[in-house]
Structure 1
Amino acid sequence: MTQPLVLTLSCTDRPGITARVTTFLFERGGNILEAQQFNDRASDAFFMRVEFDPGDTSRETIRAEFAPLADEYSMDWKLALRDRPRRVLIMVSKFDHCLADLLYRWRIGELPMEPVAIVSNHPREAIEHTHLGDIPFLHLPITRETKAQQEAQVRTIAEDTDAELIVLARYMQILSDEQAAHFAGRCINIHHSFLPGFKGAKPYHQAYERGVKMIGASAHYVTADLDEGPIIHQDAESIGHADTPDELVRKGRDIESRVLAEAVRLHLEERVLLNGQRTVVFSG
């Protein structure tokens, strides 16, 4: 039985792209299982995601024969196995609720990933409540003086483990511009407020002081601009006048966990395409 494939692509919009792509797959015996597209009129860009059963045609053949069509339209494209678990490196500091949630969802089969390592700037005892099993744990302390060296170690670990995605699961360190550029498009961060509001320290306390009626969390790709990378997923929750800062933090932990998990799922399933400083997110 053949494994389903996922084709994602983006290019300048013009008539006939959908017809050319679907005809190409049909002529090679492909059976489309799911197809979504988006025409961004503001940027004159076209985005498409297609899941399909390739039948008797190999992925290598489809890749080779699709290349001329992609070149004709100057496409940025990718052809991936739908069901292959992606290799994920997770980074965390002292707050482990997002880490615990990701590992739970992975263990029950909800997230198609393979955790290759967990890196923390604190010792393992700092996240003693989370069951890591046999996932390698690496304690890499960091100071202002050792930041460059520590980040180089992280890059080496990512390379040695063939990590395809880096997840900052409440990793409370700002990545350098070099590190952000190195992991561009494959590093997801969870921000514990509803961006672009309440950046920096203690966002829930900031929200409390402002008397807001909604709090939230944002998961986004990391860029050199602090907390301003393309947003993948957000969610919010109503709060009342009687909620204390501690209660906002408690509710925030739940929002952070589910927002990060959903962003990771969308990325793992090849449902997120970059559109400049924004994203195109195909539901599923």
Structure 2
Amino acid sequence: MIIYKTDAEIGLMQQSAQLVSKTLTEVAKVLKPGVTTMELDKLCEEFVRDHNAIPSFKNYKGSYPYSICASINDVVVHGFPNNEPLKEGDIVSIDLGVILNGWHGDHAYTFILGDVSEDVLKLVRITKESLYKGIEKAIAGNRLGDISYAIQEHTEKKNGYGVVRELVGHGLGRSLHEDPQMPNYGKRGNGPKMHENMVLAIEPMINLGTREVYTDRDGWTVRTSDGKPSVHFEHDVCVKRNKALILSDYSIIEAAEKANSYLNTSYY
């Protein structure tokens, strides 16, 4: 069942989403070779709790042990933070959820540490562009398949990338995962019709090579089957009549990213 929100509830959800953005901005400030994702996990949990919120992911389903998902290179999503230092050439996706005033925010951003190949730069750029292509279709009267098609067309059909099928975006609200499911592949005109104040976490997960993935023995970490890189971007989005309202805020993350000389923003 799709749960539509009131305008007041959307305002609270925007606060939650923007706390995620502020937390990811703190990551962008300190991210560099030598930092560990376990250090980033500690930073994020402390920042979230200092702002009177709770990390959504920690103990999710009674088993996820960390506050962030830190997915490096061939890890698509749900990577466990660890004590291995990050290195030059890593691409790092940080996914974070918070609960603030009873409402969830949940989004992700992929960072590039230093020099990488042109193929990887293009993958990051195209994946980020595809997120906004999807958001353009998140307007009342359209169908979910219109978002899915826009993402798939820009990534798979135009650029030959692998669009992961097993993992999808989702509705968001008082629960971290609500209806509807939001695939990154599909047909225009298919799926439920969207109405105002539906809130979606739209999150393209795009692989440089095959779309096929597998899950590590930890039961969480999802990797590309061919070992090639994967990129993940995610926004919290509210469906409106003429133009979607993006509840999260990449602008502050991007400003910190550009100010950090260890991070590569040449794909912009």
Which of structures 1 and 2 has the larger relative contact order (alpha carbons within 8 angstroms, sep 6+)? 2
Q: Shared fold by TM > 0.5?
A: no
TM-score range for the pair, normalised by the shorter chain length? under 0.3
TM-score by length of 2: 0.28
Computing the radius of gyration from Cα coordinates, the structure with the larger value is 1
Task: Give the number of the structure whose residues are more often strand, by fraction.
Answer: 1
TM-score by length of 1: 0.26
